[in-house]
Structure 1
């Protein structure tokens, strides 16, 4: 299996929406063997879930994470290589007067480290980072 795509939190959570994008669902289905998420995205998904009160919604999200996501795709770590690239990019962007959110930088670093295309609905959050191919699967 060769990974191609790192999914941002907003993309991997699309199936949980009340009216998910058919285009996104189709791309997820067609590319399922090439997908990964970052440990940062895994954290964001669980954090969002744990903030919910005990409810059918929370149970559905927990089931989605444990039964669908965890067995289906790798969860890539934020390791020393990603951290070094992230630090260099933060310094470069700070010198230009930009301060992207730390978690977005971590996700970008993991995509860079593994030479993956980052799939996101928030293109602007990542456009300042060097050498990160971006795709928005809604269209």
Structure 2
């Protein structure tokens, strides 16, 4: 695994599971394989969603994807001490401005920023107020 350049958000990482995945996202996932990582927080979100499903073929397929494609092939970056420091500072700054960012989104942003990675997401507005974050949306033309 080479050094990652991109941190994949949940909506990007879950795209291959859709009945008709976005072709551009799929193309870029292949093109940048080896240069992508995700956060353990994102992995948690996906596992939690999976475990809430009843036992079914769909759940089995999602579990297999998470085990064989995500956990086995992607670098999973933890919520580190540096991320916690950035998170606390940025959360306090935004609350001081009257904004209440999502706790999990701030964790994901912190992991991206402290690892100097571009956050790839389809939810650009969720991250727009964070300072120092680089964002790409693979659902739109770059």
Does the TM-score normalized on the shorter chain lie above 0.5? yes
Within 1, Cα distance between the matches of 2:9 and 2:77? 12
**What is the RMSD of the two structures over their aligned residues, measured on CA atoms?**
0.5
Alignment of 1:26-41 (within 5 A): 26-41=27-42
C-alpha distance in 2 between matches for 1:63 and 1:2: 25
- Is there any run of 5+ residues in structure 2 with no aligned partner, and where? none
1:5 and 2:6 correspond: yes
TM-score (norm 1): 0.99
Q: How far does residue 68 in structure 1 lie from its aligned partner after superposition? A: 1.1
Partners in 1 of 2:101 and 2:13 — Cα distance? Answer: 21
Tell me whether 1:81 sits opposite 2:111 in the alignment.
Answer: no
The whole-number CA distance in structure 2 between the counterparts of 1:71 and 1:56 is: 21
Counterpart of 2:62 in structure 1 is 61
Deviation at 1:92, TM superposition (A): 0.4
Scaled by the length of structure 2, what TM-score is found? 0.97
- 1:2 positional shift: 1.6
Superimposed CA distance per residue, residues 74-93 of structure 1 (whole angstroms, 9 cap, x where no aligned partner): 10000110000000000100
Partner of 1:25: 26
* Length, aligned pairs only: 139
Q: Residue in 2 aligned with 1:126?
A: 127
Q: Once superposed, which parts of structure 1, at least 4 consecutive aligned residues long, lie more than 6 Å away?
A: none
